[in-house]
Structure 1
């Protein structure tokens, strides 16, 4: 039986700047998932260091931080049955060149550009990651 879960999705600065927030929300709602919280913010370096804790210290991390603080992001908590796996499939592979048409990254991402990958969205990769990430971007959530 499918279980009710929740996950986190971030529309990154490139997705916001190129006007794809509505497209992303429409895809989520068309799959009958519920957006239970949503906020627009500019990420702080501190929030990003906690979010990307496994990447801090890598040679490319400063580029990720610069990119993710370059403009507003939209953070969403999404709930539904088997939502983590479903949203990951909707998102597509991290590298937009590998993301098939019909996925968010396959349809909207521009690729690597001159710096860190610009792939429109982040989605949690597990229930445990989702709960950890939700606490970063929605500190008042239980």
Structure 2
């Protein structure tokens, strides 16, 4: 069974959208296998977003992602990565289709409510990063 990591970001938590987002996944018959609420450390945020460190918005993103609690979840299902990516919509909320999570609730390119793994390799690394025993 394929797995993916999803992070409901600080704006999704503060705007009380966690239940709505979880309900969307459940309606698609995706299995929630792990869930954890925690504040992301700067160290984990830098590791997770290392691929955008060269961009001007990196420090703002670090401040945002470590500002308050996030919800980490692992979803399982057939083609779960592709399904979830389609459900969340384009990274830039201004380009996300209405009916997607980002299209309905997102604010900008990084305050975009939600993160989801984009490949099986990323999912495996991200699940390990956020659900290891020591985190």
TM-score over 0.5 for the pair: yes
TM interval, shorter chain, is over 0.9
Task: Provide the rounded CA distance (Å) in 2 between the counterparts of 1:110 and 1:60.
Answer: 15
Identify the residue that residue 119 of structure 2 maps to in structure 1: 126
> How many residues are treated as equivalent by the alignment?
134
> What does residue range 37-76 of structure 1 map to in structure 2 within 5 Å?
37-76=34-73
Q: How does 1:74-113 map to 2 (within 5 A)?
A: 74-111=71-108
What is the TM-score with the length of structure 1 in the denominator?
0.90
SS in 1 for 2:73: strand
How does the TM-score come out when normalised to structure 2? 0.94
In the TM superposition, residue 57 of structure 1 has moved relative to its aligned partner by 4.1
Moved over 3 A (4+): none
The alpha-carbon deviation at position 30 of structure 1 amounts to 0.3
Any gaps of 5 or more consecutive residues in structure 2? none
What is the CA deviation profile of residues 12-50 of structure 1, one whole-angstrom value per residue up to 9, with x for unaligned ones? 000000010001100010000001000000000111111
Structure 1's unaligned 5+ residue stretches are none
